[in-house]
Structure 1
Amino acid sequence: MGALLAFFSILAIGILPMVVYALILWWFDRYEKEPVGLLLAAFLWGAIPAVIFSLIVELVLDIPISHFVAPGMADAVSVTVVAPIAEEIFKGLAVFLLLLLFQHELDSPLDGIIYGGLVGFGFAAVENIFYLGSAFLTSGVAALAFLTVVRVFLFGLNHALFTGLTGLGVALARTSPRLGVKIAAPPAGLLLGIAAHSVHNLSVTLAATLVWPCLIAILFGWGGVLFLFIVIVWASARERQWIVTFLADEIEKGTLSQRDYDVVCSYTRRLDERAKALTAGDFRRWWNLGCYYRLATKLAFDKRHLMLLSNENEKVARSRVAQLRQQVVELGDRF
């Protein structure tokens, strides 16, 4: 394999599957798609700043570890303790910044998983390139093929899982009315992500000499993915219930017609309405319907959030709800 072909092959193998996984995760966000710019920023944060900061911290901490820890244990400590803590903190920082700067975009637990997962996929894409490139340079095509199966397919969702737990904790804090949840959920999510990452790294390290730790890594990793999938399904159903509940009185107010309310509350009917516009060649209507459904959904989510707010934030939230209601009416009049 030529050097140039190998280089582009490694780039493609490392990045493209992560992009596909990211698109699949994005698909689960059915009722109110997150802004593409923020999703791209989350992916790029994982791919660039999180990788750079983590690498710097790990290299700096490796110096004292190599001096104070026995030679046979230094690498294990670095891999199972330092790396998970550094990487999950810097990956998770993106979700905390999102909460600080764009908190109105975190409408449900699903949003936290989406953003955390995108950060994780960005980080995994760059990490894949490093590991796959090293395997090819040291051991050739066979090692590259083997590591591709392991990193891209067997453990390809792991970084999204780890940071998705952090995102879930942050989003629960944002959407819960309980003070205890607001305080405890973000650090709990981060600690769970670090713990899951540490268990995975320890299992893979031990798998170099034993078989059973590798089985633990597989079962633990995919068990975590199954857990997040269940949370995603639950969160999606919860979002629909919020739409049904908080848009019901908008019919009487004249914001939505009964038919539009029924369509907004059903993901399949939304798809059907937009598909009709698309097959008719009416791209403007297809686009406007998408905007209409998103605004109506945002109105429902903001009305729910208004119900949870303390008095000092209520005025701003009411103004936002009124603005969204007006936008829904104006866009609905076009149909």
Structure 2
Amino acid sequence: MSTAQTAASPETLVERRREVLELTGWGLPFRLRQPHNLCFWVYIVFFVLGAVHLIEYFSGGASVVGTGLGAGATATALYGLVFLAILRRGDHYERQPRNLVLTAFLWGAVPATFLFALTVNTALLDIYPKLFGQAFGVDWGAALTAPFTEETSKAAGFVLLLGLAPRLIRTPYDGVFIGAFIGLGFQLFEDVLYDYNSAIAGFADNQVGAALGTFALRAGSGIFSHTLYSALFCCGLIYAIGTPIQPRRLGLGIGLIVLAMLTHGTWDAIAAIGGTAAIGLFGVLLFSVFALIMLFVMMHKTVGQEREFLRAILQPEVANGTLTQAELDAVCAPRKQRKRFIRAGKGHRTHHHTKHVLRATLDLAHEIAMAGGTDSPGVLHERAEIARVRLAPRAGSPMTAASAG
């Protein structure tokens, strides 16, 4: 932070906070129901049609392989909770509204999977063998189909969400997380679909084993699946389209989109590329690791912007005495610097109290954002919580009469 910002008057800092809240939309709620917004009706129509396709797909054999379907769905749901926890933990600075995240997830789970991808994939996978032969269709059909049909079907939902929440989705960082939730919905429901197909293929013989075996294979490669592809693709869309916060960078945006599709395609063609040669399989895995690294690079590249927004929201709290400058610097710092700040004190209890202060500081920022920069009851509560934790007795520090009282 510059010296000018540090020396700014409290009134200037509060005004800067309001500007950042207006620019970023932090703290704004999300409503899916927007009758005057065409995006709402498009979303609803496609979701209903997708739900009809989902019911039709599973209704034929659910009564026969219901046990296998249930086992596969349960395993996939538990697996999905792990992914969900990781993604929500990664959304450290601006917490996207839960209903926006749920809307993104449901698009990937229902319309993208069952209305668009399943329908178009089935048609295209029948065409390739007729045009180029059965062997070509088996080896390359999925790789020449899924990256186009599935990535665009997921991206269509992201574009709808841009129309439904234009003030909430403005940075590449937002694109990464909303895209990841769309991809997670697609990934989990596609896994259930494959579990179901495996149970059906065995004519209900050992249906639980067949479903769980398929789940295990797909879960093992889950880190290189739709969550990764969509996070890259939607981050690229933000760069390609541009927003009031992110200037348009068409080249970078197209590059990320192409990288997502290539990663998807090479993974689907892993058998044709690798065959029995270990070098081919290793090459596909290496390319997928490269894509994952690029995703982390883009997150690291854009998270600095999120930290500066957080700093602007919290800087007036230093001026009014709620926070120290060191605490503000720590909560807006990268993870390693935060850890160093926490460990600077002596004793486990001191570390615990410092960590609690930083967590309460982050909660304070979110309360300020939801209150639009005003002193709401939630803001006052979090300020009091920070003061309470700071005054609590710590290891190595004898309790004074005042603190005891």
- Which TM-score bucket, shorter chain as reference? 0.7 to 0.9
Task: Provide structure 2 residue ranges, at least 5 long, that are not aligned to the other structure.
Answer: 1-63, 332-337, 339-352, 385-405
Looking at structure 1, the residues matched to 224 and 180 of structure 2 have their Cα atoms a distance apart, in angstroms, of: 9
Flag the 1:226–1:189 CA change in 2: closer, same or farther, 3 A.
closer
Which of 217, 220, 231 aligns to 1:150? It is 217
Flag the 1:97–1:3 CA change in 2: closer, same or farther, 3 A.
closer
Structure 1 match to 2:29: none
Which of 117, 136, 145 aligns to 2:180? It is 117
Task: Provide structure 1 residue ranges, at least 5 long, that are not aligned to the other structure.
Answer: 276-285, 300-322
Structure 1 match to 2:356: 272
Which of 321, 324, 328 aligns to 2:372? It is 324
- TM-score by structure 2 length? 0.61
Q: Are positions 1:68 and 2:128 aligned together?
A: no
Q: Are positions 1:166 and 2:228 aligned together?
A: no
Instruction: Report if aligned partners of 2:112, 2:154 keep a CA contact under 8 Å in 1.
Output: yes
Q: Are positions 1:293 and 2:370 aligned together?
A: no
Looking at structure 2, the residues matched to 295 and 265 of structure 1 have their Cα atoms a distance apart, in angstroms, of: 19
Residue pairs, 1:230-269, within 5 angstroms: 230-244=297-311, 246-247=312-313, 250=316, 257=321, 259=323, 266-267=330-331
Flag the 1:117–1:169 CA change in 2: closer, same or farther, 3 A.
same
Instruction: Report if aligned partners of 1:79, 1:202 keep a CA contact under 8 Å in 2.
Output: yes
1:87 is aligned with what amino acid? Answer: E
Which has the higher mean CA deviation after the structures are superposed, 200-209 or 121-130? 200-209
Provide, for residues 273-304 of structure 1, a one-character-per-residue CA deviation record: whole Å limited to 9, x for no partner: 487xxxxxxxxxx8xx77641154x59xxxxx
Q: Are positions 1:222 and 2:289 aligned together?
A: yes
Instruction: Report if aligned partners of 1:200, 1:220 keep a CA contact under 8 Å in 2.
Output: no
SS at 1:81's partner residue?
Answer: coil
**Quick one: percent identity of the two aligned structures?**
19
SS at 1:259's partner residue?
Answer: coil
**How far 1:240 sits from its partner (Å)?**
1.6
Provide, for residues 181-236 of structure 1, a one-character-per-residue CA deviation record: whole Å limited to 9, x for no partner: 1x445444332221211111112444465443332333322332233234334433
1:61 is aligned with what amino acid? Answer: L
SS at 1:79's partner residue?
Answer: coil
Which of 93, 98, 105 aligns to 2:156? It is 93
1:13 is aligned with what amino acid? Answer: A
1:10 is aligned with what amino acid? Answer: G
SS at 1:103's partner residue?
Answer: coil
Which has the higher mean CA deviation after the structures are superposed, 161-170 or 263-272? 263-272
**How far 1:83 sits from its partner (Å)?**
1.4
Please report the RMSD computed on the Cα atoms of aligned residues, expressed in angstroms: 3.4
2:233 is aligned with what amino acid? Answer: T
1:259 is aligned with what amino acid? Answer: L
Looking at structure 2, the residues matched to 178 and 209 of structure 1 have their Cα atoms a distance apart, in angstroms, of: 46
1:203 is aligned with what amino acid? Answer: I
2:226 is aligned with what amino acid? Answer: H
Which has the higher mean CA deviation after the structures are superposed, 138-147 or 9-18? 138-147
1:150 is aligned with what amino acid? Answer: L
**How far 1:136 sits from its partner (Å)?**
3.9
Q: Are positions 1:40 and 2:119 aligned together?
A: no
Looking at structure 1, the residues matched to 329 and 141 of structure 2 have their Cα atoms a distance apart, in angstroms, of: 49
Looking at structure 2, the residues matched to 73 and 199 of structure 1 have their Cα atoms a distance apart, in angstroms, of: 15
SS at 1:105's partner residue?
Answer: coil
Structure 2 match to 1:318: none
Which of 43, 46, 71 aligns to 1:9? It is 71
Flag the 1:166–1:175 CA change in 2: closer, same or farther, 3 A.
farther
**How far 1:96 sits from its partner (Å)?**
1.9
Looking at structure 1, the residues matched to 244 and 272 of structure 2 have their Cα atoms a distance apart, in angstroms, of: 38
Provide, for residues 16-37 of structure 1, a one-character-per-residue CA deviation record: whole Å limited to 9, x for no partner: 2123212201101112211000
1:293 is aligned with what amino acid? Answer: A
Instruction: Report if aligned partners of 1:42, 1:94 keep a CA contact under 8 Å in 2.
Output: yes
**How far 1:56 sits from its partner (Å)?**
1.4
Flag the 1:262–1:80 CA change in 2: closer, same or farther, 3 A.
same
Greater gyration radius: 2
